[in-house]
Structure formats: C-alpha cells, structure tokens
C-alpha cells in the first residue's frame, strides 16, 4: 500500500491512497482524514486503507484521480519526533579520514541525531535558505515511520512497529556542522527543514528488498538532472529495528515518529558514487588533497528516487529547486 | 487567560479554560477541540477562549467544574518542535568550573538543544525510567509556546509569536550527558521525556513579571516536599525573543513549538539554591572537593511551582513521583 498527503489548505493535508505505479490516487479521508490520524490509530485505519488500495489496483475504485506529486506534502507533514541516525559507518569513516576527525563513538551504539518535525517539506516545493555561504549540501536517506514503540523494546519488537517506509533529503548546511558537533549539544543551523518523497509505502511493497530491517535498493541521486550517485541501502550497519531499540532505551516513541537512516553510503563508492556532496568532497580530498565539487547554489535542483525490484519507482521522486529565502517565502 | 488539556482518552486531550486561581475549569472544545487546534489557528481561537475565560472569572460561566490537576496532560500534550536552550549562563559557568569542561561556545550565541515532543508528561503522572544508575536529575525551567515564527524573524518580531508561557521539569540522566556532549550530535539518552505544569498562561497573566522576554519570578523547587531552591528567572542571559530569532535563522518555526529556557540559575545561589541537582553537586565539588547530594532514587518525588506578583500559583504545581520502568507502564 502507498499513501500520500495532498495539499488542501490545512497543515496536515488530506490522506490519499496511491496506486503502485504512482499514476492514480483515491481519497482516503473517510477512513482517516490525515496521515496523522491514520498513524495515531494504525490498527484501526490500516484495514480500511488496504481495502481502498485494493480497489485502486483492480480498477474498481470509484473516484480515482491522477496523482500529481507537485500537490503532495510530505507523507506525514508534521511529526512529534524526528531522529536521524548515522547508520552507514562507511560515510562516517570517510569523513573522519578526510578531516582528521576523532568522533568519540560508543562501541556498538549508532549516532542518533535529534531533529525537528514541524516543517517537513513536500517533494516539489522550492527550498529556501538564507545564504549559499552556509555550504548547502544534501543527504539521500531511507526513513521509516512507526506507530507507538514501548520503552525498552527489543530490536525485533521495535521492527514490528515500522508501518511505513519512505525516502528523504536531509538538507545540511556544512558551514555550521563541525562547529555544532564540537559544541556538543546537537545540530540546529546545520540541519534545517527536511524534504520528503511524495509517497510512503508499507514495508510489504518493497518485497524482498525489505530485509532484516533494511532497504536493499539503490538511492538514485541526481544533481540538476545529472547522475550523482546510486549507493545501495544494504550497507546499513544497524537495522531500523536496532536503531529504534537504542532510541527506546529510556523513552516511549510516539506514533508517527520518523527515523532516518543517515546518508546512504556504499563501500563500492568508486563505482556507485555518494548520496551527499560532503562524502564526494571528502573522497576528493583524500585522493588529491583538494575538494573540487562545489556546494549547492541557488537555482540548482536535486533529485532522489528509488526503483524497486520490479523496476518501478517506489516512493516517487523528490525534485527540489533551491531558492533564496525572502520575506515572501519564509 | 489560563489553559489546560484534560484527559479524555485521546492523545491530545480536551482543551479547557482554567480560572486565575486554578480552582475551576470550563470546557473550551467548541472553540478549539484541543490545544493543538487552538495554537494552529491562534488568531481565530484566542478571542473565543478569552471570552470563555471572562465568564469563568465573573461567575457567569455555565458548566464550570472543579479543576483537577491530576487529570491534566501537558498543556500542549505533543509538539512538532521542542528545543531546550541553556540561557542561564550562570549554570553553565558553574558546571564548566566544577568539571573542567571547555564547552566551545560561539560568542553571542546561546546553546540550543534539539529535543523531542512526542511524549510530554502531565504534572502528576508517575515518571518511569529504567535504572537509577543513570543518575536521574531534574531541571526547573520556564518555557514558551509560539504560533508560526517566520524564517529570519528578529528577536522583537519573534517575541510577538510567544502565545503561552509555562514551566517544565527537564528530566536529565547525568550518566549519559558528558558522553553525549563529547560525541557531539545531540542529547538522546541524557534527555528522556519532559514533564509540564498543568496550565499554560498567556503572557499578560504574568503582569509586570513578564518583562523583556523573561519571567521575573522565582522557580520554587522542592524535593520530596522539602525546599531545594528558588532561583529567579531574571538572570536569563538571552530573552525568549532572542532565542527564537537564533533558532529561526534558517528555519520556519511551526505553530506549537515549545522552547525551554534551560535550568533556572541564579547568581545569588548561596542564598537561593539551584533548580537542578547537577548544579548543587557542582557547587559542593567546588566548595569541598566532593559532591554529596545524591541523584534521584525510585520513590522520591519532585515539585515545581511559580507564584505570581499577587502571590498566587501561576501555572499550578508539577508534582511527580519517580518509579521503575516496567513493561506495564512503558
């Protein structure tokens, strides 16, 4: 099942079921008015939503309409908990080598980064930021959305609470990153609003590509329509279940929590490239002593998409143009 | 105007207006079903809520009932953005001196700590955590709740978006704090769920004690009913407007964002004490070389309350008992 939230003038949009091929949608508001309502009460909402999805696939749906991703908000437009992991150690290793960082990791524990869920962006919204001097970068990531996860959940138990999977672009302002890491209290200016794919899908939509709490698919990244990288999710060093369990050590995770994987990073980076500029720049520095790939400028655009084992786009494409922040669009 | 969210079996509770003396309440759901609905559309909701509050004060209210703080959720039970500042430099200075920390602060910028808003706790809920070995501490703080703050807002502009003020106990697990600070990506295990007062109030309820974006009142802290400290909010080194503007540098702040002041800390600590154990323990270490005040144990309780210029309790009391986490209460 694939779900999206379409613009309707409200903060949370209206919930629709989307066809597997992403061409058609069906209003789902009589089952759950919003994705928030659905995930708050997933066990009640899921059967009705799946019934709608079935009618959309078999052609019996009444009132289906063309799905327009430019009308999509983030699948869950706001969340009360958003945490971004750094679960691809390959990425951190490259960064540490290139910049002589000595990140004081705790053995066995993944880096988890508390973030904010009040301003998730839709896949085709222009993305405004105050100055290109902040060294605008992107990070292509897999993400999951859960229902309630109890305190102390095991990885296996936590994984059963993963109800939806999607992708995101974790926009990053590199100028502020090392300063905020060395300060030590978390990432604020380095990590403004996050951009989501048009659609979130139940794990079964991934088929065998959803394995051991990981998405075994390529993250296709394009910059201005040109291929940039396509690292695979199989190299994730912690599963989403393990990450959720670490997070739930002394807290309950409320329904609708969004957990990002961290930038997808592939040990075969020589052949497949990276899902963020920082990693490519770090590899350039390691190879030649100098980073040459420039950070993002206003007017550039970024595309992220993942294709399933059947060759179809799973989540739809993120396609974002970067623009200056002005009073009008802030 | 004073507002609270009462238990009704839903995640967000039902909105009520509470009398100035905190003895009576009036259902407000026909104006806004929840605090979330009210803050999402504050300009529309506020006049109706104020009209209800007026009838409660002048005795003409129909259907008023006794206000029971044990039935209160947090005033805003869930938030899409919760950030905790460290705006009382006196606290940080004491901690840095006692523990030879060299926090790499940026001149002029306050430490802002991204937190999570999915599990705010009501004022009288038992508070469960997995082990007292985590060195359970508390922090008494002032907090504000805003409507939408645009990206790039000035301090003056940001302050106009403060719609409500309340207090919170920022529960802290000290065993994890220095490890997470030296890791550098934010506070997770060190900062589990946060506890709120029963009531949030519009700034005008504070009268002249709301001044220059600060609350000039004592934070009364009791441990097991015994006085622990009563530092005053006037020593806040950044106003709430300045903190919001710093945060809004490259992000929009969504309605219902909650911003904590950081633990209230008073340069007159010899006479007024502290609002957290860590600060008292640091002062003990500086004075005698040894911290003697123990961290919190299961079965202990904590009280936080603030009295206005008229001597009345402004927000009602936080009064929380600490209990072990068990599968039943997780």
Domains of chain A are: 2-70 (no CATH), 76-324 (3.90.850.10)
Nearest to B119 among A115, A189, A254 (CB): A254
Report how far residue A309's alpha carbon sits from residue A36's, in angstroms, rounded to the nearest whole number: 29
Is 0.90 exceeded by the ipTM? Answer: yes
β-pair partners for B141: B168
Residues of A in contact with B183 (CB under 8 A): 103-106, 111, 184
Q: What is the pLDDT of residue B327?
A: 67
Q: Where are the beta strands (DSSP E) in B19-115?
A: 24-27, 65-66, 82-85, 112-115
Spans of chain A, pLDDT less than 70: 327-330
Name the residue in chain B with its Cα closest to that of A255. B118
* Strand (E) or helix (H) holding A83: strand A82-85
For residue A5, the number of C-alpha atoms closer than 13 Å in the C-beta half-sphere is 26
Q: What is the mean pLDDT of chain B?
A: 97
Give the gap in angstroms from C-alpha B82 to the nearest C-alpha of chain A: 7
Nearest to B192 among A79, A130, A250 (CB): A250
Chain A contact present for B136, CB below 8 A: no
Contact B251 A40 (CB under 8 A): no
User: A157-173, pLDDT tens digit by residue?
Assistant: 999 999 999 999 999 99
Contact A80 B251 (CB under 8 A): no
Contact A251 B183 (CB under 8 A): no
Q: What is the pLDDT of residue B329?
A: 54
User: Would you tell me which residues 195-254 of chain B have a C-beta closer than 8 angstroms to some C-beta of chain A?
Assistant: 247, 249-254
Question: Strands A140-146, B14-18: parallel, antiparallel or unpaired by DSSP?
Answer: unpaired
User: B231-262, pLDDT tens digit by residue?
Assistant: 999 999 999 999 999 999 999 999 999 999 99
The pair of three-digit structure tokens given for residue A92, joined into one six-digit string: 């951190």
Residue A152's φ and ψ, nearest 5 degrees, are: 80, 10
Contact A188 B114 (CB under 8 A): yes
* pLDDT beyond 90 at B112: yes
pTM over 0.90: yes
Query: Averaged over B153-164, what is the pLDDT?
Result: 98
User: DSSP string of A168-203?
Assistant: EE--EEHHHHHHHHHH-SB-STTS---EE-S-EE-G
């Amino acid at each position: 099942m694939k779900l999206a939230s379409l613009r309707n003038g409200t903060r949370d949009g209206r919930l629709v079921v989307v066809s597997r091929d992403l061409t058609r949608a069906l209003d789902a508001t009589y089952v759950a008015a919003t994705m928030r309502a659905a995930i708050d009460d997933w066990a009640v909402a899921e059967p009705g939503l799946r019934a709608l999805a079935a009618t959309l696939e078999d052609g019996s749906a009444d009132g289906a309409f063309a799905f327009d991703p430019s009308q999509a908000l983030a699948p869950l437009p706001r969340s009360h908990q958003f945490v971004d992991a750094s679960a691809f150690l390959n990425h951190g290793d490259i960064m540490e080598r290139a910049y002589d960082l000595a990140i004081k990791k705790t053995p066995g524990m993944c880096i988890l980064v508390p973030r904010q869920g009040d301003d998730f962006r839709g896949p085709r919204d222009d993305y405004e930021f105050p100055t290109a001097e902040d060294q605008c970068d992107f990070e292509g990531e897999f993400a999951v959305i859960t229902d309630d996860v109890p305190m102390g959940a095991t990885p296996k138990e936590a994984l059963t609470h993963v109800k939806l999977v999607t992708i995101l672009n974790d926009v990053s302002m590199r100028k502020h990153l090392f300063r905020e890491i060395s300060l030590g209290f978390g990432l604020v200016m380095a990590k403004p609003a996050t951009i989501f794919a048009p659609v979130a899908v139940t794990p079964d939509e991934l088929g065998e590509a959803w394995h051991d709490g990981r998405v075994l698919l390529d993250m296709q990244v394009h910059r201005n329509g040109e291929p940039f990288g396509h690292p695979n999710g199989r190299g994730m060093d912690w599963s989403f279940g393990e990450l959720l369990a670490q997070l739930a050590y002394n807290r309950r995770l409320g329904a609708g929590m969004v957990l990002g994987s961290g930038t997808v990073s592939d040990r075969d980076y020589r052949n497949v490239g990276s899902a963020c500029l920082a990693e490519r720049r770090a590899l350039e520095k390691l190879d030649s002593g100098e980073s040459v790939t420039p950070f993002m400028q206003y007017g550039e655009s970024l595309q992220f998409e993942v294709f399933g084992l059947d060759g179809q786009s799973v989540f739809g494409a993120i396609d974002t143009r970067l623009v200056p922040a002005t009073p009008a669009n802030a």
